Structure 1
């Protein structure tokens, strides 16, 4: 039978195997800690393990993100340039429309 040891603060200390006929030692349980716990802690009353690690501790264990590759940077620059080009074309179209309207007004007033 698999058993799971904990210290005086009920924090996980490892596992072992005993005969099915042996008594579970003090500071041990046959309740397996669930997957994904960083610092398992045992609750004797509820007969279950829970997470005792702080969010900061867990976050500190996560791998740092890799910097973007040159291709990713070029893709982003290309997307930015395409956005700027689209905005410039829109402004040119708006200016062209405004100029056309001004020419029509000047023409109606007989200025040109």
Structure 2
């Protein structure tokens, strides 16, 4: 048995498969749309595709596709919201005290 890697019509990796069948000379019969060349593990690909002419794997995912896989940022926590509100109130209080100080010196 040997390991082969099946790819679709766009040459994108579908699934690893095990090949057991042999021809009369003992050679493994690799199905069409398959290769025995393993996709690289490092760096890992988001969407591995096989270049049949070059006999190598490449990244077929677009940057847009890769970005879409990243989770959306979490909403701010209650503590983060309170920190921002506190900072805003402190700034407003400082500005108000500064205006009162200027008015008192006139």
Relative to 1, partners in 2 of residues 1:88 and 1:52: Cα closer, same or farther, differing over 3 Å? same
Relative to 1, partners in 2 of residues 1:80 and 1:27: Cα closer, same or farther, differing over 3 Å? same
Which sections of structure 2, spanning at least 5 residues, go unmatched?
21-25
Instruction: State the TM-score, normalized to the length of structure 2.
Output: 0.63
Q: State the shift of 1:5 in Å.
A: 0.7
Higher helix share: 1
Which residue, out of 43, 63, 74, partners 1:55? 63
Which residue, out of 26, 35, 42, partners 1:29? 35
* Structure having the higher Rg: 1
Offset from partner CA, 1:40-90 (integer Å, 9 cap, x none) = 211123322222222222323322222111111011222333444555666
Give the number of equivalent residue pairs: 97
Which sections of structure 1, spanning at least 5 residues, go unmatched?
103-112
Aligned CA RMSD, in angstroms, stands at 3.0
Which residue, out of 50, 73, 83, partners 1:42? 50
Alignment partner, residue 106 of structure 1? none
Residue range with higher mean Cα deviation, 82-91 or 51-60: 82-91
